[in-house]
Every structure is written in structure tokens, then in C-alpha cells.
Amino acid sequence: MDWGMKNRLGRIIKGGRTVMLAIDHGYFLGPISKLEDPGKAVSQLIPFADALMPTRGVLRNCIDASADVPIVLRVSGGNSIVGKDLSREGITTSIEEAIRLNVSAVAFSIYVGAESEHQTLMAFSELVNQAERYGIPALAVTAVGKELEKRDARFLGLSCRIAAELGARFIKTYYCDNFEKVVEGTSVPLVIAGGPRMETDLDVLQVVSNAIKNGAAGVDMGRNVWQNERPVAMIKAIRAIVHENMDVADAHKLFLG
Ligand code: 5RP
């Protein structure tokens, strides 16, 4: 691996683990609860994040340019939660813009099995071609759209494997039963999304712990962190599990303070 690629990935995934903070939701969900003002929502969380995942608009307008945090730039979009086909995403942001914004990686959603499967897989491949030219890692997000029930090892294993084959340097997916099978079939690091807010704080910590124990490199979570009533306590507890292998009970105590 070239030095630049290694350096960028190494700034995001430290010692094999990472706690990424996703704040890209507005690109198709609009101003969702607690992310109406992304700058305000994350300013106190940035010191505990190994990387931040915004779109270029949020990065430019809401994030302090002196913030010392690697950026994984969401460069896909073109759809909305009220549109007909949530899978119809393309590249929204050029590689030159990503370089101008000094990003450490670019992120793109692929929709395996959806109407726009071919379009998103080809666009992701094109993004990999462009990003590799400059030593920038591409993150594939294995999106499921509104069909949350798709999150099983068979579907996610297929999506992750395809993403890795097309050149993803790391992948954002979901935790599921038999997650180790997904890891086994994918040759690059996996980070997990949180999805919609879980029922309890303990559930969030349990999912993170299970994911780490079963081979995830970390998390790229959004709603289950900044929609929490105590987001700083939550990201600190997640960090303890990811970076210190803290068990769930201790992480929960840490969360409760
Ligand atoms: C959709 C996404 C989201 O925009 C986001 O990054 C997901 O984070 P979370 O589910 O943890 O809120 O990737 O596919």
C-alpha cells in the first residue's frame, strides 16, 4: 500500500480500531432530530471521535476548519426520504473537491439488490478509480434503504464482499447475527452503523461490544450517539469498548458516570 493511502487509513483506524462519528444524515433525511444544527450537535463530540463523516456542505458551513479530526467525506447522494427510489445515488462531489477539503477518505452508498444496484456499484467503482489515483481510501456503505429487515448475515455478507471486490478500503455495514461470517468473507476492515435509535443505552453498548468481539474494526455511528440525552457520555463509553475492550457492564457504568 502506498504511503499516502496507509497514512490516511492509519489516521482513521488507529491500532486496528476506530470510533467514527456519522453526521451525513441530512443528505437524504433533511434536518432530523438533534442534527438540525450539525455544528452545535458535534462540537463537544469531536474530541472523542477518530473521524467525522459529513457531506461537503456541512463540513464547509458547520465544522471548524482547525478541528483536528480526519474527515471521511460523504460523496454520494441524489435521493431523498420522500422520493420514489432511495437507492438512486450517484457521485455528488468530485475528487478535486475532496482533495481541496483535505479529506482522509471518501464514502459512497451501494444498494445491492435494489433497483439501482448496477448504477450504484458502477458509480462506486468509478469513485474508487478516482480516489486511488490520489491515495485516498474509499469507504463503501452497504445501504438497505427503508428495508431494515434486510440486515442479516447473508445480505450484508454479499454486499460487503462485493464492496471489497470493487476496491473499498474499508466498509460501513450493520451488525447482525453471525456477524463473524460477514467479517470472514470480507478482506477489509468493517465498521458498523447504529441505525435508528435503539431502545436502551445498554442495547447500544451491547451491539458495539458484540461487533468488536466478532471482528469489527469499530463503529461509524450517528443517531445512537448525538440523539442520546448524554451524547458525550455515550461516545466515551463506546470508545472504551472499541479501544480498551471494556466489557459492557463497565462501559455502562462509565456512561452513567
Ligand atoms: C445511511 C448512512 C447514514 O447517513 C449514517 O451515516 C448512518 O449512521 P447511523 O445509522 O449510525 O445513524 O450511512 O446509509
Per-residue pLDDT of the chain (257 residues; tens, 9 = 90+): 799 999 999 999 999 999 999 999 999 999 999 999 999 999 999 999 999 999 999 999 999 999 999 999 999 999 999 998 889 999 999 999 999 999 999 999 999 999 999 999 999 999 999 999 999 999 999 998 777 777 899 999 999 999 999 999 999 999 999 999 999 999 999 999 999 999 999 999 999 999 999 999 999 999 999 999 999 999 999 999 999 999 999 999 999 99
Residue 43, Cβ density class (10 Å: 0-12 exposed, 13-18 middle, ≥19 buried): middle
**Distance of CA 159 from the midpoint of ligand 1 (Å):** 16
Cell of 111: 444498494
pTM: 0.96
Judge if the beta carbon of residue 25 lies within 6 A of ligand 1.
Answer: yes
The domain ranges of the chain are: 3-193
**CA 63 remoteness from chain centre:** 18
Identity of the amino acid at 102 = N
Q: Which of 55, 59, 98, 33 is nearest to 229 (CA)?
A: 33
Q: Report yes or no: 216 and 183 within 8 Å, Cβ to Cβ.
A: yes
**Best substitution site from 120, 141, 144 to test ligand 1's pocket, by max atoms within 8 Å of Cβ?**
141
pLDDT of residue 190: 98
pLDDT of residue 108: 98
Judge if the beta carbon of residue 141 lies within 6 A of ligand 1.
Answer: yes
User: Which atom of ligand 1 lies at the shortest distance from residue 107's CA?
Assistant: 13
**Distance of CA 105 from the midpoint of ligand 1 (Å):** 16
- Catalytic annotation, pick one of 14, 172, 213, 236: 172
CA distance 57 to 204: 29
Q: Whose CA is nearest to atom 3 of ligand 1?
A: 25
pLDDT of residue 117: 95
pLDDT of residue 84: 87
User: Which atom of ligand 1 lies at the shortest distance from residue 221's CA?
Assistant: 11
Judge if the beta carbon of residue 86 lies within 6 A of ligand 1.
Answer: no
Q: Could you confirm whether 6 is annotated as catalytic? A: no
Identity of the amino acid at 4 = G
User: Which atom of ligand 1 lies at the shortest distance from residue 24's CA?
Assistant: 4
Query: Tell me, which fold does domain 3-193 have in CATH?
Result: TIM Barrel (3.20.20)
Judge if the beta carbon of residue 26 lies within 6 A of ligand 1.
Answer: no
Judge if the beta carbon of residue 222 lies within 6 A of ligand 1.
Answer: yes
